[in-house]
Amino acid sequence: MSRQQREKIDAILRQPRPEGPPPSVEELRAVILDITVGVPHVFQSFAGGPLDEADQALARAALFISQHIPAGTGQLTHDSRTVTEPAAIAGPAPATIRDRSWCPKSRNPGRSGAPAPGRPR
């Protein structure tokens, strides 16, 4: 990636998200391929250690996540009783995601299943 390309992408990422409805699924599908040359596989694991590129890559990933996930969405409790609807995060979801059969019991009162032993409440 050239410096010019990096600056252009960086400027795009740093644009503040306007207040309003959450981004659409199409928006969320937009990704940026970030290539770091000369580093080993899963080099991000070296974050906080000897590799500066690892910290930089995680910082870029964190920035991307922060700008694409509005604050206050995606709440997930430790006992997995509350899962935000995918549609609430990403607008209209494909029909397969609207199927609630995967949801924990609190969102599917008809489904059985007690909390696992020892699970924090």
- Which positions touch another protein (CB under 8 A)? 38-40, 42-53, 58-59, 61-62, 65-66, 69, 71-76, 78-80, 102-104, 113, 116, 119-120
Token pair belonging to 40: 């080993």
Least distance CB 18 / another protein (angstroms): 18
In the chain the beta strands, taken as DSSP E runs, fall at none
Nearer to another protein, 9 or 103 (CB): 103
Between CA 13 and CA 17 the distance in angstroms is 9
> Could you tell me the CA-to-CA distances from 110 to 48, 96, 107 in Å, in that order?
46, 20, 9
Nearer to another protein, 24 or 82 (CB): 82
Least distance CB 116 / another protein (angstroms): 5
Nearer to another protein, 24 or 66 (CB): 66
Rg (CA), the chain: 19
* Cα angle for residues 69, 81, 29 (degrees, 5° grid): 25
Nearer to another protein, 20 or 72 (CB): 72
